[in-house]
Structure 1
């Protein structure tokens, strides 16, 4: 099956574009508390230096919350993506004016990441890679209203926002220095400035952007989906694992009281909705092995280049991050959205500790059913598994963002 390019699928709504340079925005990330796609979106927003409040839901309970949000923003159901066909999928980034006026919704964690990077790069205190935003784009990014949903879309929005307001942090380097918007034609631009619902594609240029974009899209459609399928297959039938995961990570007293019902409904419905069964889980395990084979080879190439002294030594010496730096990353000597994606989406399957992922509790490898535990341990010991663990240790979110109870 042909894979769509990032340029074909990641379009930022006109309303979201016009928020990129607006000061004092209030951001709310609506997410499922235990979702690895939502973890990726949180990570991108934090790396971009964008303050936000997280609104947490349990699985299935999020549907009513996202529908309420869509009505508040006068926005229809979300579009289907590679990782979810649901019109109420999370994460969704809600953008408000300083006065609390609903402006825009951005869905898809990757686009949210791109928005954050562009948003961060237009404030007066840029510390990172020089951005490349055309003057026409900056003139075009005026205050307006908008929702951003889907972890990939959110990631790209975060990158754009970081670039647009020049935030300190590493948000601007998530996609390389050339992330920008493909503006509509002159006539469409006039319509959009007047409030049209047209959209702009988030694009980039150069080998770094191409590498990051291809890996990011691959991860959304393979690693993220198969991790979810395999983990749910083994956890949902076991109350002491999935039930405890739900209740321990409920964000309110009401959520905690309703968590047994949420768990039972999830156990009944999710296997049907997501095609989760023994056969698909076995196939998912095989695909995860294949994905780890691929990323092991990518990391080996980067390791060889680092050992040969190509750029890595200079980049490491110049890096001023207090959180440290890994010797190499998936796309070269700099941390990018591809690294955040593989670590965020692969954290569960290699047993990243609950505390590092911002969870109150999640089962460790020792708690898992024997077959799953052995599988997770085998992935954990591979180069990609070790890279994911190091990503969480060195670059994982260290500061807790504000959380609103849903």
Structure 2
């Protein structure tokens, strides 16, 4: 069996979840990283649909970060991605779905709301990515069109960003209460998909240095966003994410 190919938007938090999952499971893979919009063609060419992450395996394409995690769990059960008991598995799966649906779309929309108006910021961030040079040259040219498409697809408006802010605040409060007793993991006594999913999807508003691709510097964002993100870093949930990244995010060899 050849190593699977992971097609990503390099700085996407769902793609970080997929990378971290495969790394944790010890499954060798190749990554084909791309910039937003350009990723769709790369995914289709590789045999997937349009969205990233997409894992291209000998068995076909897997087009969702959670499906990638379930695939990895079947191939590396010793990694205990979903815990050590059926009770733990049910709790981890429920938390993973909760974070996928109620956190990931909102951290993405909130941070893009502040990033997209600044074309120079997007250009600088794109230039830092491990993505094809041609995409880096073309994105500034096509960015006005790409920006319109992203705003429409993710409903990035002032009202939408405000709703997402509330969702993030409530999620951080919920997880903060869960970890305020000092527990090292959300479920059980080892790192699982509950921890990987929460940490990955929260990371774009916390900017941990161990993240698997360059993220936007906090100081590059508007002061309002920077202040909010620094405050989140100091919450119990934010500190939990920082510790999980520091202790458990390992780059693959």
Q: Same fold by TM-score, threshold 0.5 exceeded?
A: yes
1:267 counterpart SS class = helix
Bigger radius of gyration, 1 or 2?
A: 1
Q: CA deviation at 1:247?
A: 2.3
- Alignment gaps of 5+ in structure 2: none
1:14-45 C-alpha deviation (Å, 9 max, x unpaired): xxxxxxxxxx4321101111111000000000
Distance 2:164 2:20 in 1: 25
TM-score, with structure 2 as normaliser: 0.94
Match in the other structure for 2:21: 44
Structure 2 residue aligned with 1:31? 8
Match among 377, 380, 384 for residue 233 of structure 2: 380
Aligned partner of 1:155 in structure 2 is 69
Change (3 A) 1:153 1:261: farther
Considering fraction of residues, name the structure with more helix.
2
Instruction: Find the counterpart in structure 2 of residue 143 from structure 1.
Output: none
Q: CA RMSD in A?
A: 1.7
Where in structure 2 are the equivalents of 1:55-74 lying within 5 Å?
55-70=32-47
Aligned residues: 253
Q: Could you tell me how far 1:250 is from its partner in structure 2?
A: 4.8
Distance 1:300-1:242 versus aligned 2 partners, 3 A rule: same
> How do residues 176-191 of structure 1 correspond to structure 2 at under 5 angstroms?
176-177=83-84
Q: Does 1:226 align with 2:106?
A: yes
**Secondary structure in 2 aligned to 1:251?**
coil
3-state DSSP of counterpart to 1:357 = coil
Residue of structure 2 in register with 1:357 after alignment: 211
| CA–CA distance in structure 2, aligned partners of residues 67 and 364 of structure 1 | 31
Q: 2:80 aligned to 165, 173, 192, which one?
A: 173
| Contact map agreement 2:23 2:251 (CA 8 A) in 1 | no
Preserved contact between residue 248 and residue 256 of structure 1 (Cα < 8 Å):
no
Residue segments in structure 1 that go unaligned for 5+ positions in a row: 1-23, 78-87, 96-102, 105-145, 164-170, 179-205, 304-326, 401-406
1:253 aligns with 2:133: yes
For normalisation by structure 1, the TM-score amounts to 0.60
Bigger relative contact order, structure 1 or 2, given CA contacts below 8 A and separation 6+? 2
Structure 1 residues 358 and 176: CA distance shift in structure 2, 3 A: closer
C-alpha distance 262-215 of structure 1, shift in aligned 2 (>3 A): farther
Residue in 1 that maps onto 2:144: 264
SS at match of 1:347: helix
Confirm or deny: 8 A CA contact 2:83 2:188 kept in the other structure: no
- What is the CA-CA distance between 1:220 and the residue it aligns to? 0.3
